[in-house]
């Protein structure tokens, strides 16, 4: 692990120039930024399984948010070429080995994602999957894991549902599609990385509206960041 | 990289007007848009603030208030709003508020403008001021098909050449020679453009050859004097009804009493014959009320058929009215045959929708008796019996009795011409609002039996007095304005003014919004027509309404009356008695949009015209 043997400064000096290096060396978003101005990138990954150590990324979808406005012009989805076969998860995502033949190498896919992530907070539902897989993939290629600034809509949902109750939220209520239905957000038929990233971005807007309604002062990034 | 936002593309393509965009534009559209979220209670567009975006409701619900007060629309997902401020580049005249948590797609003004310029069908959707939108809606409802030419063709379209005429002082021989030369079966006898008589092949056979009359006799000896004529703008099927009703085969065609041509039954036969005509023919042949009831039972299915054949509402109304007119006419003939000749001449007046040539299925009876001034109290039993005979006969034919008692069976509405003049003068001169509300349908009278000299005189009195009766017009206007069309539709409900949702809405009430408004404008402008469409044309021709207003009101009226007839025809086909209550679920989303536009047109017309007459009263 990089932090045990090298200083952060040394690590950054060794990263080749490119989108990942820029993401790492640029200043992190200021937690005092009002949410109406905070820039985010809603990200969703589709993977061969849940364990970053053994599973691989199949596709990456992302949608940028400028403050509380989802800018669909920046939306994208790319397939990532896995090493080895797709296996069982093809049944879930409809991605077959054939489709994946057009996919990008993990290195190129990461470059594209980090270009989109420049200057933005990573927004995801159950973000541990995204940060885990992205960190592991980056580590495999470049030998280090970037530190992400993250907002997690699952954590926000947990907070919103737990407020004023001693109990934990009911089981299943935190899942992306259940959380969305609590805000009357539309159901989506498709299940792919881009649709899920969009779904996460929309959920975030609804959650912020709810949090803001309960708060007397204007919310800043600090109120939603995951530490 | 794949940027296809399929969910948003599919959402757009399933809602008008985005469904008319070509695939290539639709594919690119989502990536030009933004998404925003509005918590319930928050304002999406502020009143009097500039707005440069078009909004499309993705989920939730919003209310649109004009000037921040008047609820004009409650929008479902798929509805576009904010258009007027984008199009006009002026501050918003509306305040738009999320009433539920709402996700909204935002299209920048320049993208919207690009689509408007690029796809005219898309632009039409937003152009409610332009009546071509409504015209197209009506045209879509009435897709052109064949098989109803007789309902579409005007008598004037049948005139192929100048009429063959001769003066009154020619002999029978000269007339026969002229007819042979021109290969015609009828010769018109005229002085200049004034029709005097008509001679036909049949006259030559029966009155000359068979009767052994000299060929040197003047033509006046055998001609039919002052024959029945038909106006040039009458429909071909009306000409056919006239021929069937009178047993003639030729009708001189006139334009304001000026002879311009001749139509023959042969001309009409060459048009495709539609069944409705034969129904009227059959009615005139019946010899008992039972027979009439049996023949009349064909009418609802016939209307359903005409809807299938895409006849327009105004054509179908004329047909249904022709059938009910013929039924009354025949019942009166049968009654007179039973009771003997009437003690004094009389005219049978139909009122309300039948008077306006707007009879629909399930419409009730409204009629009165106009008696010659020589009538006395002793004559009343005859007319009481006559009225009951006709009313009962009509009831058996499927026309319910008037619940308000406005029928000739009511002694109050059996009176002399003099008494009628008195009533109308009273209504116009000393109106109280309840009396005027009650009396409105009387102003749509039309004689269907016994000639129309007395009815015409009555109409002249009204034409003279009405424009000079501001209080009367004021009351009518106040009533016309009070009847408000709904605002629109929301989640399968009708949104009425005041915001309370209803499961159905009353098409009859929507029809009457137009009828009452047009009636008051007509009365104020001495228009003698009773049919709403003709009244609209006349007030516009008289300069009392702009051509634009006329044409958009005509379209709105046609749309609403068409949907009503279609609703009733569907009920009849399903074996349900026809009514006027339609559920939004029975309408397509485009029909709902067009209806909402029609309601808007009516509301604007109400504000513009009725207020004008109302102010006379209130000041």
In a domain, B167, yes or no: yes
- Name which of B4, B35, B53, B60 to mutate to probe chain A: the one with the most chain A Cβ atoms within 10 A of its Cβ: B35
pLDDT of B599-614, one tens digit each?
888 888 887 776 676 5
> Higher confidence at residue B365 or residue A96?
B365
DSSP state of A87: G
CA-nearest of A119, A8, A26, A142 to A66 is A119
Which band of pLDDT confidence, cut at 50, 70 and 90, is reported for residue A4?
A: very low
**Residue A17 in domain:** no
**Using CB atoms, which residue from A72, A112, A208 is nearest to B1?**
A112
Indicate whether B241 and B379 sit together in one domain: no
> Would residue B139 count as lying in a domain?
no
Tell me: pLDDT of A37 over 80. yes
Residues pairing with A121 in the sheet: A40
Dihedral sign from CA coordinates of A113, A114, A117, A123:
positive
The pTM of the full predicted model, rounded to 2 decimals, is 0.60
Residues B460, B314 share a domain: yes
Report CB contact under 8 Å: B5, A73: no
Residue of A79, A112, A209 lying closest to B39 (CB–CB): A209
Last residue of a domain, one of B111, B127, B143: B127
Secondary structure class of B172 (helix, strand, coil): helix
For the CA atoms of chain B, what is the radius of gyration?
29
The predicted structure's pLDDT at residue A93: 57
Number of structural domains (chain A) is 1
In a shared domain, residues B327 and B193: no
Confidence at residue A100, expressed as pLDDT on a 0 to 100 scale: 61
The reply to whether B490 and B596 lie within a common domain is: yes
> Comparing C-alpha atoms, which of B374, B401, B358 is closest to residue B512?
B358
In a domain, B160, yes or no: yes
If asked whether residues B422 and B455 sit together in one domain, one would say yes
Structural domain includes residue B142: no
pLDDT at A1: 41
Based on the fold, state whether residues B496 and B580 are members of the same structural domain: yes
Summarize pLDDT for A118-150 with one digit per residue, the tens: 999 999 999 999 999 999 999 988 888 898 999
DSSP lists the bridge partners of residue B104 as B36, B57
Range of the domain at B243: 155-270
Which residues 6+ apart lie within 8 Å of B421 measured at CB?
Answer: B458, B461
Beta bridge partners of B416: B371
- Chain A CB contacts of B101 under 8 Å are 183-184, 206, 209
Answer with the one of B237, B270, B303 that is the final residue of a domain: B270
**How many domains in chain B?**
4
Closest chain B residue to A79, measured at CA: B1
Residues B36 and B183 in one domain: no
Does B206 share its domain with B87? Answer: no
Residue A54, domain CATH: 3.30.420.10
Residue A156 in any domain: the answer is: yes
Low-confidence residues of chain B, pLDDT below 50? 129-134, 136-138, 140-147, 272-274, 616-619
| pLDDT number for residue B154 | 81
Of B246, B270, B294, which residue sits at a domain end? B270
Contact B7 A71 (CB under 8 A): no
Q: Are B600 and B457 in contact (CB under 8 A)?
A: no
Examine residue A190 and state whether it is found in any structural domain, yes or no. yes
pLDDT at B116: 87
Residue B182 is predicted with a pLDDT of 85
CA dist B240 and B280 (Å) reads: 10
Residue B59 and residue A184: Cβ atoms within 8 Å? Answer: yes
In degrees and rounded to multiples of 5, residue B61 shows phi and psi of -155, 145
Q: What is the CATH number of the domain that holds B286?
A: 3.30.460.10
- Residue A210's SS3 state is helix
User: What's the pLDDT score for residue B22?
Assistant: 93
Domain-embedded: residue B461: yes
The predicted model gives A3-17 an average pLDDT of 62
- The pLDDT score that the predictor gives to residue B127 is 66
- The order of strands in the sheet holding B493-495 is B488-490, B493-495, B501-502
Together in a domain, B246 and B295? no
For residue B493, being part of any structural domain is answered with: yes
Structural domain harbouring A219: 32-226
CB pairs under 8 A between A and B: 80
* Any domain includes A26: no
Report the length, in residues, of chain A: 227
The pLDDT value recorded for residue A12 is: 65
Query: Distance from B493 to chain A by nearest Cα, in Å?
Result: 20
Give the whole-angstrom CA distance, residue B488 versus residue B497.
Answer: 9
Residues of A with CB under 8 A from a CB of B: 68-73, 75-79, 112, 183-186, 188-190, 194-195, 198, 201-202, 205-206, 208-210, 212-213
Q: Where are the beta strands (DSSP E) in chain A?
A: 39-47, 57-66, 69-71, 76-79, 121-124, 150-152, 225-226
Contact B36 A202 (CB under 8 A): no
Q: What is the CATH number of the domain that holds B586?
A: 1.20.120
Q: Does residue B415 belong to any structural domain of this protein?
A: yes
User: So what's the pLDDT on residue B308?
Assistant: 67
pLDDT at B144: 37
Query: Distance between alpha carbon A216 and the CA centroid of its chain, in Å?
Result: 29
Residue A184 in 3-state DSSP? coil
Q: How many C-beta atoms lie closer than 10 Å to residue B407's C-beta?
A: 22
Same domain, residue pair B108 and B227: no
Tell me if A6 is assigned to some domain.
Answer: no
pLDDT mean across residues, chain A: 84
Nearest to A205 among B1, B3, B37 (CB): B37
Same domain, B476 and B614: yes
In a domain, A129, yes or no: yes
- Find how far residue A125's CA is from the centre of its chain: 7
- The reply to whether B531 and B460 lie within a common domain is no
Q: How does residue A85 score in pLDDT terms, banded at 50, 70 and 90?
A: low
Considering the domain boundaries, does residue B133 fall inside one? no
What pLDDT score does B475 carry? 86
B488: distance to nearest CA of chain A, Å?
A: 23
């Amino acid at each position: 692990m990089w932090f045990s043997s090298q200083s952060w400064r040394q690590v950054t000096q060794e990263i080749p120039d490119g989108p990942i290096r820029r993401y790492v060396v640029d200043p992190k978003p200021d937690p005092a930024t009002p949410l109406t101005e905070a820039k985010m990138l809603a990200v969703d990954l589709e993977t061969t399984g849940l364990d970053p150590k053994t599973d691989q990324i199949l596709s990456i979808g992302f949608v940028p948010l400028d403050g509380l406005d989802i800018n669909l012009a920046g939306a994208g989805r790319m397939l990532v070429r896995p090493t080895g076969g797709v296996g069982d998860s093809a049944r879930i995502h409809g991605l077959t080995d054939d489709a994946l033949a057009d996919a990008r190498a993990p290195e190129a896919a990461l470059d594209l994602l980090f270009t989109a992530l420049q200057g933005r907070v990573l927004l995801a539902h159950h973000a541990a999957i995204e940060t885990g897989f992205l960190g592991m993939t980056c580590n495999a290629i470049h030998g280090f894991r970037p530190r992400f600034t993250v907002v997690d809509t699952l954590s926000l949902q947990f907070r919103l549902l737990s407020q004023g109750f001693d109990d934990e939220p009911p089981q299943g209520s935190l899942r992306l599609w259940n959380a969305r239905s609590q805000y009357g957000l539309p159901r989506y038929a498709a299940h792919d990385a881009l649709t899920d990233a969009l779904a996460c971005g929309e959920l975030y807007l609804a959650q912020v509206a709810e949090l803001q309604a309960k708060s007397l002062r204007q919310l800043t990034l600090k109120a939603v960041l995951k530490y | 990289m794949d940027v296809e936002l399929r969910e948003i593309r599919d959402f757009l393509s399933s809602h008008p007007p985005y469904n008319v965009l070509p695939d290539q534009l639709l594919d690119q559209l989502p990536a030009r848009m933004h998404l925003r979220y509005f918590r319930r209670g928050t304002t999406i567009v502020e009143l009097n603030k500039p707005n440069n975006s078009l909004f499309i409701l993705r989920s939730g619900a919003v209310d649109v208030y004009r000037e921040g007060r008047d609820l004009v629309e409650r929008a479902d997902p798929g509805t576009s709003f904010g258009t007027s401020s984008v199009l006009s580049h002026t501050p918003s005249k509306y305040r738009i508020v999320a009433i539920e948590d709402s996700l909204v797609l935002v299209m920048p003004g320049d993208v919207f403008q690009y689509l408007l310029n690029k796809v005219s069908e898309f632009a039409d959707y937003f152009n409610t001021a332009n009546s071509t939108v409504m015209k197209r809606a009506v045209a879509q409802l009435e897709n052109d098909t064949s098989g109803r030419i007789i309902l579409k063709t005007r008598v004037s379209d049948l005139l192929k050449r100048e009429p063959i005429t001769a003066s009154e002082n020619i002999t029978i021989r000269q007339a026969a020679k002229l007819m042979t030369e021109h290969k015609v079966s009828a010769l018109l006898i005229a002085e200049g453009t004034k029709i005097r008589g008509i001679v036909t092949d049949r006259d030559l056979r029966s009155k000359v050859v068979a009767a052994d009359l000299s060929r040197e006799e003047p033509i006046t000896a055998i001609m039919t004097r002052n024959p029945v004529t038909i106006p040039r703008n009458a429909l071909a099927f009306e000409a056919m009804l006239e021929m069937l009703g009178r047993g003639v085969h030729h009708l001189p065609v006139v334009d304001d009493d000026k002879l311009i041509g001749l139509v023959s039954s042969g001309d009409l036969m060459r048009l495709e014959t539609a069944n409705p005509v034969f129904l009227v023919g059959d009615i005139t042949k019946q010899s008992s009320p039972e027979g009439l009831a049996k023949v009349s039972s064909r009418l609802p299915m016939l209307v359903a058929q005409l809807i299938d054949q895409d006849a327009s509402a105004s054509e179908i109304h004329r047909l249904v009215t022709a059938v009910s007119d013929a039924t009354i006419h025949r019942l009166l003939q049968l009654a007179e045959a039973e009771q003997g000749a009437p003690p004094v001449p009389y005219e049978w007046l139909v009122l309300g929708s039948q008077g306006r040539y707007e009879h629909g299925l399930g419409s009730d009876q409204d009629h009165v008796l106009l008696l010659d001034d020589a009538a006395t109290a002793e004559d009343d039993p005859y007319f009481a019996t006559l009225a009951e005979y006709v009313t009962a006969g009509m009831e058996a034919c499927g026309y319910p009795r008037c619940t308000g008692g406005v029928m000739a069976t009511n002694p109050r509405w059996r009176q002399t011409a003099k008494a009628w003049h008195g009533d109308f003068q009273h209504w116009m001169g000393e109106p109280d609002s309840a009396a005027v509300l009650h009396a409105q349908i009387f102003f749509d009278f039309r004689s269907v039996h016994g000639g129309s000299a007395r009815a015409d005189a009555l109409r002249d009195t009204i034409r003279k007095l009405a424009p000079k009766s501001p209080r009367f017009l004021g009351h009518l206007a106040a009533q016309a304005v009070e009847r408000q069309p709904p605002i629109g539709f929301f989640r399968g409900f009708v949104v009425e003014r005041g915001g309370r949702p209803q499961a159905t809405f009353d098409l009859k009430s929507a029809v009457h919004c137009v009828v009452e408004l047009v009636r008051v404008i007509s009365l104020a402008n001495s228009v003698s027509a009773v049919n709403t469409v003709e009244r609209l044309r006349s007030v516009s021709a008289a300069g009392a309404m702009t051509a634009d207003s006329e044409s958009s009101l005509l379209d709105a009226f046609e749309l609403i009356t068409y949907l009503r007839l279609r609703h009733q025809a569907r009920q009849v086909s399903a074996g349900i008695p026809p009514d006027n209550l339609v559920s939004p679920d029975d309408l397509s989303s485009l029909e709902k949009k067009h209806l909402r536009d029609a309601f808007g047109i009516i509301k604007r017309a109400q504000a513009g015209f009725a207020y004008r007459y109302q102010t006379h009263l209130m000041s």
